[in-house]
């Protein structure tokens, strides 16, 4: 509905290639990977070989140098793999643990971490959340103490996607505990470092095909060359990264919700109750019409925000609005769609059950809805 203007022929060619790969190579394994609680590492490699992980990164580091609309296509298509856990792990690789390296890394850091990440040879994780600090980044307690040419790191992290098998972490730590926001630094942390351990793989409500872990750091000694950007500037790098992370999440959640609604409409047209299809009952038809309308409004907001990001504008408020609005809508939509399935919606044999579990994370991960409202209200000077 008027969104074609954002996509050139090469965007559409890329969309067709990515969709074909996701539907033919990944989707058929979704149930198997959900049951196993993990998907194969080779998926990263296949995605990297096809150039899907480095869409807007410079060609000199293994990317394809595309504009932001390539990332929009990428995040819109990911839900077609039929596994939110797989989509989340891939988004972490492409949109969460790597942007700060591209923006602030040294040539040596890009060679060691960014290039193999974009090729799918190494798996990364974004490592901010701790048992006592989530959206409140300044409250993190993991500490890095300078020791000559090295830093000694102690602490713990939790809810880390890709955490059990990451080759490195883009990690936020305290380098000046007394400076609040101004005392946080980012490090690139190789997980082969002595003293590092995965203490627990977490058992989650949804996203079951991705690994989410608790991590521990005990006297981990890393060289100062692994400091990413400037010391004590890490909070600002994290906030910068959140803009891309939250918008990617909103794009993916919106696309996933559209697929859920389309699948539900198809079911509601076929399933009959009291002699006519579920979709023909006025209450149901009106509810579907309302959901479709809200999805269209959400898409207009998301694309407006994507246009701002593509133009290099500050879109912090608009990104926060996207995360808030799309997240709340996606949760409402999957709940209403499950209701249309009746008892069958409660059965795992129907995809709506998994979608219901998976979608619930959208209003929590990357900043809760409450935090988004707080950001928006502050930017409105309320």
Count of Cβ atoms closer than 10 Å to residue 25 Cβ: 14
Distance CA 382, CA 378 (A): 6
Report which of 236, 224, 124 is spatially closest to residue 180, judged by C-alpha positions. 236
User: Are the beta carbons of 264 and 256 closer than 8 angstroms?
Assistant: no
User: Are the beta carbons of 306 and 72 closer than 8 angstroms?
Assistant: yes
**184-190 and 168-174: which strand pairing?**
antiparallel
- Crossing angle for the helix pair 316-341 and 282-310, to the nearest 10 degrees: 160
Place of tokens 């470092």: 193
> Does the annotation mark 245 as catalytic?
yes
User: Are the beta carbons of 30 and 83 closer than 8 angstroms?
Assistant: yes
User: Are the beta carbons of 250 and 302 closer than 8 angstroms?
Assistant: yes
DSSP summary character for residue 22: I
Question: What b/e sequence results for 198-215 when a residue is b if at least 16 CB atoms lie within 10 Å of its CB, and e otherwise?
Answer: beeeeebebbbbbbbbbb
Distance CA 206, CA 54 (A): 27
Distance CA 382, CA 373 (A): 11
Residue 329 tokens, joined: 């809508």
Question: Of 77, 214, 245, 318, which is the active-site residue?
Answer: 245
Residues recognised as catalytic: 245
């Amino acid at each position: 509905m008027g969104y074609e203007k954002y996509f050139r022929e090469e965007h559409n060619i890329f969309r067709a290639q990515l969709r074909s790969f996701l539907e033919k190579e990944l989707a058929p394994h979704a149930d198997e990977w959900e049951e196993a609680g993990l998907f194969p590492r080779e998926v990263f490699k296949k995605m990297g070989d096809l150039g899907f992980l480095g869409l807007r990164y410079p060609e000199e580091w293994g990317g394809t140098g595309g504009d932001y609309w390539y990332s929009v296509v990428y995040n819109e298509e990911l839900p077609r793999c039929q596994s939110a856990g797989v989509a989340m792990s891939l988004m972490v690789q492409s949109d969460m643990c790597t942007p700060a390296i591209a923006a602030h890394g040294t040539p040596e850091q890009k060679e060691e971490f960014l290039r193999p990440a974009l090729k799918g040879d190494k798996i990364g994780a974004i490592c901010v959340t701790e048992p006592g600090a989530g959206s409140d980044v300044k409250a993190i307690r993991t500490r890095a103490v300078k020791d000559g040419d090295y830093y000694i790191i102690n602490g713990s992290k939790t809810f880390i996607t890709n955490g059990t098998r990451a080759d490195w972490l883009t990690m936020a730590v305290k380098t000046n505990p007394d400076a609040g926001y101004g005392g946080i630094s980012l490090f690139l942390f190789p997980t082969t470092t002595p003293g590092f351990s995965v203490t627990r793989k977490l058992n989650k409500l949804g996203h079951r095909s991705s690994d989410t872990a608790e991590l521990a750091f005990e006297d981990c000694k890393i060289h100062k060359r692994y400091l990413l950007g400037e010391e004590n500037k890490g909070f600002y790098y994290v906030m910068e990264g959140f803009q891309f992370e939250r918008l990617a999440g909103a794009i993916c959640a919106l696309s996933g919700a559209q697929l859920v609604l389309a699948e539900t409409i198809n079911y509601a047209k076929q399933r009959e109750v009291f002699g006519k299809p579920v979709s023909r009952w006025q209450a149901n038809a009106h509810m579907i019409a309302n959901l479709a309308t809200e999805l269209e409004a959400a898409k207009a907001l998301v694309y407006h925000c994507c246009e701002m990001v593509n133009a290099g504008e500050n879109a912090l408020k608009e990104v926060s609005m996207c995360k808030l609005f799309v997240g709340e809508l996606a949760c409402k939509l999957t709940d209403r769609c499950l209701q249309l399935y009746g008892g069958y919606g409660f059965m795992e044999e129907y995809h709506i059950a998994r979608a219901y579990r998976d979608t619930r994370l959208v209003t929590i991960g990357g900043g809760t809805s409450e935090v988004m409202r707080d950001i928006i209200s502050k930017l409105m000077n309320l």
